[in-house]
Homo-oligomer: A and B are copies of this chain.
Amino acid sequence: MAASVAVEELVNEALPQGIRTRDRILSTAARLFSQKGYEHTPLSHVAREANVSKALILWHFESKEDLFRAALGRTLEPYYIDMGDIGSLDEQNQIETLIDSYFKFVRENGYSVRFIVDLMVRESGPDEVMSHVHELYVVFRNLLAEAIDRGRLSGRFRPDVEPELDAALIVTTLDGILMERFLSEKGRPTTAENLVEHLKKTTFLRMLAEPAASKAGANDVL
């Protein structure tokens, strides 16, 4: 689950003209579909923004839907989880790192995340894409669950944490925070950040084991 994308951007000048044009069409389509949705993005619009004719698009791609699937593939390219050297952290920091990287990803990929959520809600995405998204979801949840379980076994977390359920609830809350961004008024910029911090705080308030020799009420104060 380490970094595995990138590359490819730097070798463009070595590619034949046809491929470059195809590529420009693809990224233009990905951007426009993400911004305005499939229905509201006629081929003529993609053609204009990519500086090609409609007909050329349909020479490269069999149909508008074919272009759509190809663009979706491109949209999903950055969806990987970069965990770097997570192993060197204690369990609490592992979990915080996971939460932060989820949130960072959502923040930095607003358009395509909105695109994917739209497809989920309408159940209209190609199966391959939806199962890709679902797989990422499961991988992330399992990373969380494993970190929680390690914390439980090492005694840093309470013995009654339930790794699977707790991980699922954290992911679900993160999804809710993601949705919050779609509902909130425009004038409230940082609510999502506040919620993420509060999620972390309350999660550990509940999961961390009490210091062995503590007295009752030891954490009554903030």
User: Residues of A at under 8 Å CB distance from B?
Assistant: 37, 39, 114, 117-118, 120-123, 133-134, 137, 158-160, 162, 165-166, 168-169, 171-180, 182-183, 185, 191, 194-195, 198-199, 202, 205-206, 210, 213-218, 220-222
Contacts and interface: CB of A to CB of B under 8 A. Distances in A.
A168 B195 contact: yes
A20 to B, nearest CB: 32
A134 B117 CA distance: 19
Contacts of A222: 160
Nearest to A199: B169
A183 B120 contact: yes
22 contacts: A39-B39, A118-B122, A121-B121, A134-B185, A165-B194, A168-B191, A168-B194, A168-B195, A168-B198, A169-B173, A169-B195, A169-B202, A171-B176, A172-B179, A175-B179, A176-B177, A178-B179, A202-B206, A205-B206, A210-B217, A215-B215, A215-B216
Contacts of A218: 216
A169 B183 contact: no
Contacts of A175: 175-176, 179-180
Nearest to A36: B122
Contacts of A171: 176
Nearest to A218: B216
Nearest to A113: B121
B198 A134 contact: no
A166 B121 contact: no
Given A137-B183, A215-B215, 14 more contacts: A117-B121, A123-B182, A159-B220, A160-B222, A166-B198, A166-B202, A168-B191, A168-B198, A169-B202, A174-B176, A176-B179, A210-B216, A213-B216, A215-B216
Contacts of A162: 198
